[in-house]
Structure formats: structure tokens, C-alpha cells
Amino acid sequence: MGVTGTKEWKKGIIHNAEIDKYLIDGKDYIDNESIFSALTRQSNPDPHFIRDILQKSLSIKTLAPDETAALLQVKDPELWQEINQTAIAVKKKVYDNRIVFFAPLYCANHCVNNCAYCGFREANNLEVRRILTMEEVKRETTSVLKEGHKRLILVFGEHPSTDVDYMIDCIKAVYSVTDIAPKSGQATNIRRVNINAAPMEMAKLRKLKEAGIGTYQVFQETYHRETFANVHPSHTLKGHYRWRLYALHRAIEAGVDDVAIGALFGLYNWKFEVMGLLHHALDLERQFGIGPHTISFPRMTPALGSWLSNNSEYMVSDDHFKKLVAVLRLSVPTAGMIVTAREKAAIKREVLQLGCTQTDASTRIGIGAYSDQQKDFNEESKQFTIGDPRDLDAVIQEVGKLGYISSFCTAGYRCGRTGETIMGMLSHCEESKFCKLNAVLTYREYLNDYASPATKTIGEELIQKELEEIENSDYFRQKPHLLARFRQDYRSIIDGQRDLYL
Ligand code: SAM
Ligand code: SF4
């Protein structure tokens, strides 16, 4: 498409009617003043109030803005200990001891936007541009399958050449690939494809739903309007703060009811962004009865040619990062929380124990980088920098040592446990029971199909403990049919069947 064609294409992207319909009393759900005043009101919170808030989180209820603000403003280190302990307890209650694994697949880096922090931005002449062909998408998928992954998130810039039809082709290409697991010779494939892409109109979102996407993820980047305007030039599509603010409202209305929110930490004050994420979750709950499926909180890392990504005055320290993870865990107890390979192994390990539920491993973010591993991908010629390049087996081994089961479960979305259904189950801590069974089944598959001897030794011990817990649990004893089916599926996997889920 030429320059004129691209200009015309851009004109058709934003639909004001698909923004204003979500206003409540004529107002957006983000209001700078109300966030600042909550933080000021709670600048010195009473410890009794904090303990009441912790009890509320433990009863799996989303916090009110003043409650999250109060947690953010705690100064006493001992009270922070209590906050952290409660965050761990909330995670255990809702998600048990599972970590879900996925891999990102970067399909194209063409982009019409100019986000100041991103290597893919249009004005960055140093970035080598590439769009994967469907054959290349399949090759990438095969490489990711060889690691043992079952869940992918496809990532795109915003460009007419990689608009929704290209995305759908990619989704179909990924689902079409079958590979053979190295240790067992069993067939394997990707079972869930999520998307991280620009905000879209509802008609396109419906097409994505039909193509079988799992979660649709859009990060607001920053909820602070002035900062948003500073880092996203106003003449670009991304410069439209409000089109992005309601991207996930549109998605839910279009039927994509697993939606994922996020903020890029380092652009503005971290406490403000946590409040922004909370308001986003509350507005989705208010308008649709569905909270976010996951929350992401990537910290900005150095990107090629981006001055801001190396020099922002708002970079978040490790100490503040851990605090924001604990506060988010408590604020939206039902949401999954994703820590990515942007983080170094050591900090990732800490926040996985503080309430995160998902992470990526064996991550490559160069376009075509999974299958072209020999090729010299210029370390900087990527959208941002990776902090944890370890392969899946190494991370699974590590989390196993910490007592966590690695899950590749994709059952929820395939059994219709999405949106409102899953939210209800999560808040009654019921989903954790189903997921525990599916986590064990998929962990069994991984141990038989891919695990190194050391990972297998750790995994066998862990899985034995899980099986005992399941057999001795009152919940499952009251559901003998479910338990019987689980036992049968577990045996069938050992006998060579795959992709069994409850
Ligand atoms: N183009 C789509 C969009 O902007 O929504 C797709 C997403 S972009 C390829 C994925 C995410 O990477 C962005 O939403 C942003 O939060 C994050 N990102 C961009 N630059 C980054 C950097 N320097 N460090 C860490 N994350 C970054
Ligand atoms: Fe493009 Fe997304 Fe990067 Fe912005 S963050 S330049 S929209 S790829």
C-alpha cells in the first residue's frame, strides 16, 4: 500500500461512536483529579484500615479506589510484610500453586505509530522491517512447539499490511501446525492463540473471535493523559487516548470476553498507573460484570534508538516493582497477573512468589527469531530488551524447585469457562480446583514429552504431592465423577493420549 493508501486506511480506523457509548454520566472512567485526591486522602493510612482491606481481598473482592490508594501509601515495613503475606494467600486461594506458561510470537514490526519508547516506531530507521509469511509463521510455531509450549500470544505493530485479515491468517497458520514431542513421539500443537494488537473497531474484533482467539490484550501504556500525549504524537493513531481506553470494552461487547489490560511502567508515576489499572478493572466490572482476565505491568526496557527508554525520570525500582505487584494482586484478586521475560530471572522469581500467575519462557522477540536462532539478531534491533532469555525447561525447573506446578492449561476457553462464567468461578475459588486438575494433566504431558532429566525428577515429586492433595481434598471427594474422570485422563496421558482436559 502506498503513502496515499495508508493515509486513507488510517482515516477508517477510529470510530467515535464506539468510544462515547461507554461514557458514564458523560465522563471517562479515568479522572486524574480523583486518582490524585485518593492518593492524597490516603497519604498516611491507619493500620486498622489496612488490615480491613487485607480481609476484603482475602474474601476475593475487587478493592475500591481509596483502598488501593491506602495500600500504595503504606510506609511501615512491617505492614508491608503483612501486605505481601496476604498477596501470597490471595494468589493461593484463587490460583493455587500454578504458574501458566506461554510464548510470544512477533509476527511483524511494521508500524504507523511513533511511540517514544518502542523500537518498532515508524521513524526508527535503524529497525529492519519484516512481515512473516504464513510459511514463516508455521516455522516459528514449530520452533516454539519444540520447546514444549501450548499457548502463544501473537504480537503485531499497527499497519495496513498487518491488519485484521493478516492476523486471522496468522492465527489459522499457528493452529494448523502439528509437531512431534521429542521424548515421547506424541503429536503436539498450539492449543490457544492470544493476540496483542492495537485497538480495533467491533467488526474486526468479531472476526478475531470467529477465528478462535483466546485473550485479546491491549496495554493502555499510561493512564495519565498528559504523559500519554507526550509519548504518542497526536497525529498518530496511537495518539488517540480515548480510542485505546475503551478497546477492551469494545472487545467484550464483540464477544471476546477474555480481555487483558496493562500499563507500561516507567512512563509516569507507578502509583498513578496502579490506580489507573484498578479503575479500568472496575469499569469493565461495572459495565459488563467481567473483570480483566489478566493484568500486565511491563517495566520499560532499553529499545533501539529510544532516548526515553533509557532516560525516563519515572523508571520503577525493584523495590517499587515488588510493591506494585503485591498491591495489584490484592486489588483485583480474580485477575491473572503476567510477569514477562523483560524482567531479569532474579526479580521474576521474587514476583512469581508474590502473586504472579503467568510468565513466558524461551522468549525471542526478533521477527522470525525462533526459527533463525543461528542468525545474528542484533541485540538491539528489537522492540525492547529481554532480561530473562532462559529456555522453558530451565524456568519450569526453577519454579518446580519453588513448589509450583507448571501449567499449559487451555481448557477454560475451550470449555466455555470465559468472561462472566470464569469470573464467578474465580471469585468463589472454584476455578482453581478445575485448573489444578488441568494443570496436573498438562504438567504430566510436559514431563513425559519434553522435560530434561533434572526437571523430570523435580516434577515427579511435585506431581505426586499434587495427586495426593487432590485425592484427599474434600471438594473433589464431593465430586466423585470429576475425580474419576481425572484419574482416567491422568492414566490415559501416561498411556500416550494427549490434550485431555476437564
Ligand atoms: N502495536 C500494538 C500496540 O501498541 O498496542 C502492539 C503492542 S507492542 C508490539 C506490545 C507492547 O510492548 C506495548 O503495548 C508496550 O507496552 C510494550 N513495549 C513497547 N516498548 C517497550 C519497551 N521499550 N520496553 C518494554 N515494553 C515495551
Ligand atoms: Fe507501534 Fe505498538 Fe510499538 Fe507503538 S508500541 S510503535 S504502536 S508496535
If phi > 0 it is left, if psi is from -120 to 50 it is alpha, else beta; for residue 179 that is: beta
Whether residues 388 and 449 share a domain: the answer is no
Task: Give the Å distance between the CA of 89 and the centre of ligand 1.
Answer: 31
How does residue 149 score in pLDDT terms, banded at 50, 70 and 90?
very high
Question: Looking at the predicted structure, is the pLDDT value of residue 416 above 70?
Answer: no
Question: Looking at the predicted structure, is the pLDDT value of residue 383 above 80?
Answer: no
Q: Closest ligand 1 atom to the C-alpha of 106?
A: 9
Predicted confidence at residue 4, as pLDDT, reads 85
Q: Provide the number of structural domains found in the chain.
A: 2
294 within a domain of the structure (yes/no):
yes
Question: Mean pLDDT over residues 496-501, rounded?
Answer: 92
Question: Looking at the predicted structure, is the pLDDT value of residue 379 above 70?
Answer: no
Instruction: Give the C-alpha separation, 240 to 234, whole Å.
Output: 7
Question: Mean pLDDT over residues 232-258, rounded?
Answer: 96
Whether residues 422 and 444 share a domain: the answer is no
**What tens digit of pLDDT does each residue of 449-459 get?**
999 999 999 99
If phi > 0 it is left, if psi is from -120 to 50 it is alpha, else beta; for residue 497 that is: beta
Domain boundary among 408, 426, 444: 426
Which ligand is in closest contact with the Cα of 111? 2
Torsion of Cα atoms, 43 then 47 then 48 then 53, to 10°: 70
Q: Are 407 and 443 in contact (CB under 8 A)?
A: yes
Q: State if residue 109 touches ligand 1 by the CB under 6 angstroms criterion.
A: no
Question: Looking at the predicted structure, is the pLDDT value of residue 67 above 50?
Answer: yes
456 within a domain of the structure (yes/no):
yes
Looking at ligand 1, which residue's alpha carbon is closest to its atom 6?
197
Predicted confidence at residue 305, as pLDDT, reads 84
384 within a domain of the structure (yes/no):
yes
Whether residues 440 and 332 share a domain: the answer is no
* Three cell numbers written together for 371: 526459527
Domain boundary among 385, 404, 426: 426
Which of 10, 220, 238 gets mutated to test ligand 2 (max ligand atoms within 8 A of its CB)?
238
Q: State if residue 383 touches ligand 1 by the CB under 6 angstroms criterion.
A: yes
55 within a domain of the structure (yes/no):
no
Question: Looking at the predicted structure, is the pLDDT value of residue 427 above 80?
Answer: no
Whether residues 373 and 420 share a domain: the answer is yes
- Mean pLDDT value across the chain: 93
* Three cell numbers written together for 63: 478493592
Using alpha carbons, select from 427, 330, 432, 322 the residue that is nearest to residue 87.
Answer: 330
Predicted confidence at residue 414, as pLDDT, reads 72
Q: State if residue 115 touches ligand 2 by the CB under 6 angstroms criterion.
A: yes
Task: Give the Å distance between the CA of 117 and the centre of ligand 1.
Answer: 8
CA distances from 338 to 102, 294, 315, 328, 361 (A): 10, 7, 19, 11, 12
Question: Mean pLDDT over residues 346-371, rounded?
Answer: 94
Which of 121, 130, 382 gets mutated to test ligand 2 (max ligand atoms within 8 A of its CB)?
121
Predicted confidence at residue 12, as pLDDT, reads 94
> Which DSSP string do the residues of 192-233 spell out, in sequence order?
EEEEE-----HHHHHHHHHHTEEEEE---B-S-HHHHHHHS-
Q: State if residue 264 touches ligand 1 by the CB under 6 angstroms criterion.
A: yes
Whether residues 419 and 475 share a domain: the answer is no
Question: Mean pLDDT over residues 396-414, rounded?
Answer: 90
**What tens digit of pLDDT does each residue of 437-446 get?**
999 999 999 9
Q: State if residue 261 touches ligand 1 by the CB under 6 angstroms criterion.
A: no
Whether residues 369 and 447 share a domain: the answer is no
Spatial CB neighbours of 181, under 8 Å, sequence gap ≥ 6? 148, 187, 188, 448, 449, 450
Task: Give the Å distance between the CA of 160 and the centre of ligand 2.
Answer: 14
Question: Looking at the predicted structure, is the pLDDT value of residue 202 above 50?
Answer: yes
Question: Looking at the predicted structure, is the pLDDT value of residue 219 above 60?
Answer: yes
Whether residues 179 and 252 share a domain: the answer is yes
Task: Give the Å distance between the CA of 259 and the centre of ligand 2.
Answer: 19
Question: Mean pLDDT over residues 170-176, rounded?
Answer: 98
Question: Looking at the predicted structure, is the pLDDT value of residue 307 above 80?
Answer: yes
Q: State if residue 107 touches ligand 2 by the CB under 6 angstroms criterion.
A: no
Predicted confidence at residue 419, as pLDDT, reads 64
39 within a domain of the structure (yes/no):
no
Predicted confidence at residue 233, as pLDDT, reads 97
Whether residues 413 and 434 share a domain: the answer is no
Looking at ligand 2, which residue's alpha carbon is closest to its atom 2?
157
Q: Closest ligand 1 atom to the C-alpha of 296?
A: 16
How does residue 434 score in pLDDT terms, banded at 50, 70 and 90?
confident
Q: State if residue 238 touches ligand 2 by the CB under 6 angstroms criterion.
A: yes
Question: Looking at the predicted structure, is the pLDDT value of residue 380 above 50?
Answer: no
Whether residues 365 and 474 share a domain: the answer is no
Whether residues 375 and 440 share a domain: the answer is no
259-262 and 294-296 beta bridge pairing: parallel
51 within a domain of the structure (yes/no):
no
Instruction: Give the C-alpha separation, 285 to 292, whole Å.
Output: 8
Task: Give the Å distance between the CA of 249 and the centre of ligand 2.
Answer: 21
pLDDT > 70: what percent of the chain?
Answer: 94
Question: Looking at the predicted structure, is the pLDDT value of residue 115 above 70?
Answer: yes
Predicted confidence at residue 363, as pLDDT, reads 93
Predicted confidence at residue 502, as pLDDT, reads 84
Q: How far apart are the first and last CA of the chain?
A: 46
Question: Mean pLDDT over residues 42-46, rounded?
Answer: 98
Whether residues 242 and 352 share a domain: the answer is yes
Task: Give the Å distance between the CA of 319 and the centre of ligand 2.
Answer: 28
Q: State if residue 218 touches ligand 1 by the CB under 6 angstroms criterion.
A: yes
Whether residues 284 and 390 share a domain: the answer is yes
Question: Looking at the predicted structure, is the pLDDT value of residue 227 above 60?
Answer: yes
Question: Mean pLDDT over residues 106-110, rounded?
Answer: 96
Predicted confidence at residue 138, as pLDDT, reads 98
Least confident of 275-279, 422-426, 489-493: 422-426
Which of 196, 217, 295, 342 gets mutated to test ligand 1 (max ligand atoms within 8 A of its CB)?
196
Task: Give the Å distance between the CA of 118 and the centre of ligand 1.
Answer: 6
Question: Looking at the predicted structure, is the pLDDT value of residue 88 above 50?
Answer: yes
Predicted confidence at residue 410, as pLDDT, reads 85
* Three cell numbers written together for 252: 467484550
**What tens digit of pLDDT does each residue of 308-319 get?**
999 999 999 999
Q: Closest ligand 1 atom to the C-alpha of 262?
A: 16
Which residues span the domain enclosing 438? 427-494
38 within a domain of the structure (yes/no):
no
Instruction: Give the C-alpha separation, 312 to 306, whole Å.
Output: 10
Alpha-carbon Rg for the chain, nearest whole angstrom, is 22
Question: Looking at the predicted structure, is the pLDDT value of residue 28 above 70?
Answer: yes
Q: Closest ligand 1 atom to the C-alpha of 385?
A: 24
291 within a domain of the structure (yes/no):
yes
Q: What is the CATH number of the domain that holds 115?
A: 3.20.20.70
Which ligand is in closest contact with the Cα of 123? 2
Q: State if residue 121 touches ligand 2 by the CB under 6 angstroms criterion.
A: yes
Domain boundary among 426, 450, 480: 426
Instruction: Give the C-alpha separation, 91 to 95, whole Å.
Output: 5
* Three cell numbers written together for 142: 514449530
